[in-house]
Amino acid sequence: MPHDVAYPPLDTLKPVADAVWIVDGNPIKAGGLPLPVRMTVVRLSTGDLLLYSPTRYTPDLQRDLERLGPIRHLVAPNVGHWMFLGNWQRACPGATTWGVPGLRDRAQVRASGVRIDRELGSVPPPEWSREVDQVFLQAAFFTEVDLFHRPSRTLMVADIVLNVEGRRMPPLPRFMAGVLGILEPDGRAPLYLRLLLRTNRRAVAEAAARLVGFEPRRVIVSHGRVLDLDAPARLQHSLRWLLGWGDAKAGGVDLGPRSLPGAGAIGTGLAVGVGLVLGINLMVVASRERSADRQRRAPRG
């Protein structure tokens, strides 16, 4: 098959459960690594829409969404998933933008003009607490909030679980993805992120145990194939590196060994390097989004 990590049709609403949809966006290029991106849309019992990790804006997508309900909440679930917010904010002035702590202070975010109205925490706000639960993972230089839609038992994650399909990639990117540890069926958080999460491992392990404890029917990952078959076991498998760290248990089940598999120095260095390049490329994506948006808004003469 040709190498293409995208999940067409792109920028299109796809139903996955009652009141839950996904939208697959145009893949981003991160350090030579093509990464598919996905947002999840939840219609709350109030009728309001929540967009978790918004992908690129298009007027057609906005129109299709607004047929479902008013777009009220734009959620930037971690410090890297904010690049496409600007256009949504301008198109939906009535929406509240939620970001993880510290996101609004990041130089790239300030430079982009993206506005963070409210900060996410460990407790879901009244706006969605009736039906959506929230798990907060925080470590040095990284924070993520994962949401769980209780009625459909749908878990939404950003980077704590990746599940990229290697067969869709050319050999070199597939090799890089393998070094990062993000390839299905063993996809995990990328290695550089796993290293960061070690800085607060007990709290992060407890948060991961909560994710597993939800026993989700499906896990909608932001990068890669949705976990929709045997999702609880797949999620536990993906988080096994983390769940063995603390005394965390999920559903009374011992979650595995306490020791971590050691990462070799070369692999770690390579993964950190890829992580740095990935971060730089995400900034490039944000910059391109801004310049494309400026061109769209420029008066035509």
Of 48 and 159, nearer to Fe ion (C-beta) is 159
**CA–CA separation, 19 and 15 (whole Å):** 8
100 and 158 Cβ atoms separated by less than 8 Å: no
Shortest Å, Cβ 257 to Fe ion:
28
Shortest Å, Cβ 253 to Fe ion:
29
Binding flag, residue 159, Fe ion (CB under 5 A): yes
Options 8-16, 153-161, 237-245, 263-271: segment touching Fe ion (CB under 5 A): 153-161
Q: At 232, is the secondary structure helix, strand, or coil?
A: helix
Nearest to 282 by CA among 34, 86, 80: 80
Beta strands in the chain, from DSSP E residues, in sequence order: 13-17, 20-30, 33-43, 49-52, 71-76, 96-99, 118-119, 132-139, 142-149, 154-156, 218-220, 249-250, 253-254
Binding flag, residue 48, Fe ion (CB under 5 A): no
55 and 223 Cβ atoms separated by less than 8 Å: no
The residue sitting closest to Fe ion, measured at its beta carbon, is 159
Options 56-64, 106-114, 154-162, 274-282: segment touching Fe ion (CB under 5 A): 154-162
Of 256 and 279, nearer to Fe ion (C-beta) is 279
Torsion over CA of 193, 179, 161 and 219, rounded to 10 degrees?
170
Options 134-142, 155-163, 164-172, 284-292: segment touching Fe ion (CB under 5 A): 155-163
Binding flag, residue 24, Fe ion (CB under 5 A): no
**CA–CA separation, 157 and 152 (whole Å):** 15
Q: How far is CA 140 from the centre of its chain?
A: 18
Shortest Å, Cβ 80 to Fe ion:
5
Number of residues that bind Fe ion (CB under 5 A): 1
Of 100 and 255, nearer to Fe ion (C-beta) is 100
Shortest Å, Cβ 162 to Fe ion:
8
Shortest Å, Cβ 275 to Fe ion:
11
Give residues in contact with Fe ion (CB under 5 A). 159
